[in-house]
Structures are given as structure tokens and as C-alpha cells.
A and B are shown apart, each in its own frame.
Chain A
């Protein structure tokens, strides 16, 4: 057992002694949540190595081939996440590392009158450009914090980012091809290929009505610059308010379908329990699952960072961010007393209903010792956050989050 394990065990025991009632799990510090007395082990405490990849800044290495890189938490102290720090997640080792912009084409076919093949210039010059700020978030963001810890990419909170996307409306592009009647879905795939011939490509679909809602876009710029290769150069589908599994990178093919897409990416992977809490029990899995969809209402701490030390009598600006699936955040509340009382945090101005919204709360430590803060958000539709949550895929994390450390 290494020292981290010892530390976590001691602190878990301490916290168990302090915490009572139904809110127990939410009161545990973040790191303690990564371990479970039920699982075979005491949680993942593997080191989180920082690495540099092309066009990216120092990122936390989750995997290398294909790459998955997590954004360090401190980048979330600003509204827009720099392109160089935006998280990376590819499924297949045949992810693109080279694109010839002269020969690249976006193909559009299926249930259309006139199949299309667009050059980059045709997309940029041939359609009205649109811009919006939207948060992008991996379905499995913060998976490593679930207890027991589901297999998968062991992210903390950095599998997300906020960016200003510029591109063209998907509905305008579809209209150019003339969609025939009977269209039910639109399918999307990118330049990424499986590492072996014959294995399935990543293909995802949206309901046709969603695809033409005017918000879904094909982005050719991110924060005013071309996308980094690892974030989907040259084109990326942006599905505002929906999890990133639909934001197909290096988008190269769009197909209008007359029946729902059936493949592992829709039928087996990326599915969540069919209940509002997105919750199930390890011993009692949900009978019915659905494809993951809109972002759940959620909020996290950005400062203090996990286990950051605070100074007695020194005012500290607690900071974080909250998001939902597009209705907008109405309220964020913080508890500095383990959930007994809640106070409203101050919300930053809204910069778009698909953007995350940052919040602040000024707090002055008046006693030395351990602190634990909780945060919960409510959106304009009244959706709040549950105290606990678990599901087999570690998806759509939406439970009340906490952060802990010492006042010294």
C-alpha cells in the first residue's frame, strides 16, 4: 500500500465518523469517492502524468494510443478553454494525423435528392456562417469518481471544455442536398478508422428533427482558429447541450437515414439507465437503457483544487462552473457545513445557453481543520442534482459534488 492509499483510508474513516444520514456519499472528499469498500480494491490512485502532444499544452495522460488527454482543472478558471487545453478522446487507433485540405471532402448522401461532396472552401464560402459558445463534455467525464469505479477512461473533471465554435448550420447543409420525405435520422462519421480492416467505424446518429433544429452545426473554427488535429481538424460536428459522443471529429460523411441507425455505438455503447437520475445499483441494473443524450444539470468546484490548503482568516473566492442541457442555469448553491445549510453563489453573466456558467462564493475560514464544501445547481427547468448516483458505464455524472482540504 502506498502513502496515498493510507491517506485516503484514514480520511475516509474520519469522514465516515463525521457524516450522518442519506447524504453520506456526497460528503466524502472527491478522492475518497474513487475508492470503494465494495470493489475489489481501494480505488485508483495511479499518478496522473502530464504530457505534451502536438498542438496541445501540458495535459493529463489518460491513454496514448489512441490518445485520451484530460484538461487540468485550472484551465476552467476562464470562460473559454484554450484549444491547446481542450480535452482529447479518440476511440480508434486509426485516428487521423494528416489531412490534405486540398483533397478533403465532406460527403453527404443517403435519403437525399442530390448527394453532395463539399470542399472546405465550399463550406466556408457557400453557407451563412454561425457562431456560438458551447460546452463540450465526454459522456464519461468524472467516471473515476464513481464508486464502485466502472471500467473505462478514468477521467476526473477535465473531460470537458467550453469553446466558441464557428461553422455552418447542419440544416443548411442538408437543405443543399434536398432531403427526401421519410428521413428519420442523420448519421455522422469521421476520418478515424479502426486499427484493423473490417472492424466497425465510429458512426453516431441524431434524430432528424434534432439534426435540423438550427443549433447543430458543422464547425470549422474553434475559438477563432482552425481545430487542432486531435480535436477534429478540419471539421467537427457540434451538438450543443449534448454529450461529446455525438460531436464527431474530422467529420467526413453525413448520411440521411430512413430508419434508425443500429450499431454498437448506438445500441450497446454510450447507453444510460432510462430514469431521470441516470442511476442504477451494481446489484440491480436498470432493465431499460437509452442512448446518452442531453447534458444533465451539474456543477463542480474549480477552486479550491482538490486538497488545496486554505489560510485561516484569509478570504478565499470559491469558484466553479455549472452546466445543463440548454435551458440555462438558474441557481448555484454552496454548502460549507456538510449540507446543513446552503447559500447562493454569485453567477457570472450568461454567455450562451449552451455554455457553462461560472459561479463564485467568497468564504473566509474562521477555524483550522478540515473543510468540505458541496455545490449544487438548478436549471431554469427546475432540474437539480441528486445526492448520489452510479451507473455501470460511469456516464452522465450529475450528482452533487464536493471538495475537501485543510484550513491551516
Chain B
């Protein structure tokens, strides 16, 4: 990326504290700054509760939020689902909670009890 205005890199880096300088010539680039983020979501294997997981969880965030986690007991996952519902406001119906937990356990390679 081209340097878009002259920084006071050296002088400022050497100064131990916040200090004023002349008004910089900031160039924010094109009038509309835009990026395109690639799709990069893990594919979800078929398993018990997959439909509920897709409908209630993946609608808001990538399944990667789940597959990066270490293996947790069902009660830890239940607390996570409760957090999503009660704190972050996810409108997960009661009937979907157990199927979602089944699928979370399935993803970690444990059978749904």
C-alpha cells in the first residue's frame, strides 16, 4: 500500500508522550472505501440437530465459532447457548435448544446422549 501521507514516524516514535504536530494531510483514499470478504465457512456434516443449528446459530455467525473450540461437556455448551439467547438476544425457541446441543456434541465426535 502506498504511503498516503507523510507520517512523523521518527520524531513521534522517539517521543515518550502524546504531542501535537502540524495538521496532517490525510488522504482517506477513494470516496467509498470498500472491501469484499471471501466466503470461508466450514461445511457442516449431517448429524442430529443440524437443521436447528443452521437455523438458529449459523444465521448470525459462522460455524467456525464452534469448531475452533476444544471439546466441552454438554453443560458447558448449554451455558453457551443460554448466553447467546439471554445475553446476546438470539431468538432461539425452547424446542430448538436440545437439538442444538445434540449437534454441538455430534460435532465434537460425541454421541447425543
- Our verdict on whether A and B bind, yes or no, reads yes
**Interface of A toward B, CB cutoff 8 Å:** 34, 39-41, 43-44, 46, 51, 53-55, 61-67, 79-80, 83-84, 93, 97-102, 120, 124-125, 128-133, 149, 151, 153-154, 164, 166, 169, 194-196, 198-200, 214-215, 217, 220-221, 223-226, 229-230, 233-234, 264, 268-269, 350-353
Inter-chain contact B36/A44, CB cutoff 8 Å: no
Inter-chain contact B28/A101, CB cutoff 8 Å: yes
CA separation between A350 and B14, bound complex, in Å?
A: 8
**Interface of B toward A, CB cutoff 8 Å:** 1, 3-9, 12-24, 26-29, 31-41, 59-62, 64-65, 67-73, 76, 80, 87-91
Nearest-neighbour CB distance to chain A for B43, whole angstroms, equals: 13
Inter-chain contact A264/B34, CB cutoff 8 Å: no
Which residues from chain A contact B61 at a C-beta distance below 8 Å?
63, 65-66, 93, 195
Inter-chain contact B68/A63, CB cutoff 8 Å: yes
Total cross-chain contacts (CB, 8 A): 179
Inter-chain contact A54/B35, CB cutoff 8 Å: yes
Inter-chain contact B68/A200, CB cutoff 8 Å: no
Inter-chain contact B3/A151, CB cutoff 8 Å: no
Which residues from chain A contact B1 at a C-beta distance below 8 Å?
55, 83-84, 225
| A131-B69 in contact given A97-B34, A217-B18 (Cβ < 8 Å) | no
Which residues from chain A contact B40 at a C-beta distance below 8 Å?
51, 61, 64
In-complex Cβ contact of A40 among B12, B71, B88 (8 A): B71
| A54-B37 in contact given A40-B71, A93-B61, A224-B3 (Cβ < 8 Å) | yes
Nearest-neighbour CB distance to chain A for B53, whole angstroms, equals: 15
A-B contact pairs, 12 of them (CB 8 A): A54-B35, A67-B37, A97-B37, A98-B32, A101-B32, A131-B19, A132-B12, A151-B69, A164-B7, A166-B24, A199-B89, A200-B89
In-complex Cβ contact of A224 among B9, B19, B22, B88 (8 A): B9
Which residues from chain B contact A230 at a C-beta distance below 8 Å?
35
Which residues from chain A contact B19 at a C-beta distance below 8 Å?
130-132
CA separation between A166 and B8, bound complex, in Å?
A: 9
Which residues from chain B contact A125 at a C-beta distance below 8 Å?
23
Chain A residue with the shortest CB-CB distance to B9: A224
Nearest-neighbour CB distance to chain A for B28, whole angstroms, equals: 5
Inter-chain contact B18/A214, CB cutoff 8 Å: yes
In-complex Cβ contact of A44 among B41, B64, B70, B89 (8 A): B70
Residue among A100, A151, A214, A234 with max Cβ neighbours from chain B (10 Å): A151
Which residues from chain B contact A132 at a C-beta distance below 8 Å?
12, 15, 17-19
Which residues from chain B contact A200 at a C-beta distance below 8 Å?
88-89
4 extra interface residue pairs, beta carbon distance < 8 Å, beyond A154-B69, A166-B12:
A99-B32, A164-B13, A225-B3, A230-B35
Which residues from chain A contact B3 at a C-beta distance below 8 Å?
224-225
Which residues from chain A contact B69 at a C-beta distance below 8 Å?
44, 151, 154
CA separation between A121 and B67, bound complex, in Å?
A: 43
Which residues from chain A contact B68 at a C-beta distance below 8 Å?
44, 46, 62-63, 153-154
Inter-chain contact A234/B41, CB cutoff 8 Å: no
| A268-B18 in contact given A63-B68, A225-B1, A230-B35 (Cβ < 8 Å) | no
Inter-chain contact A353/B26, CB cutoff 8 Å: no
Which residues from chain A contact B14 at a C-beta distance below 8 Å?
351
CA separation between A46 and B69, bound complex, in Å?
A: 9
Inter-chain contact A221/B64, CB cutoff 8 Å: no
| A101-B33 in contact given A43-B70, A79-B13, A124-B23 (Cβ < 8 Å) | yes
Inter-chain contact B18/A130, CB cutoff 8 Å: yes
Inter-chain contact A124/B26, CB cutoff 8 Å: yes
CA separation between A51 and B42, bound complex, in Å?
A: 14
Which residues from chain B contact A351 at a C-beta distance below 8 Å?
13-14, 16
In-complex Cβ contact of B60 among A64, A195, A217 (8 A): A195
| A97-B27 in contact given A61-B40, A215-B18 (Cβ < 8 Å) | no
CA separation between A311 and B23, bound complex, in Å?
A: 51
Nearest-neighbour CB distance to chain A for B63, whole angstroms, equals: 9
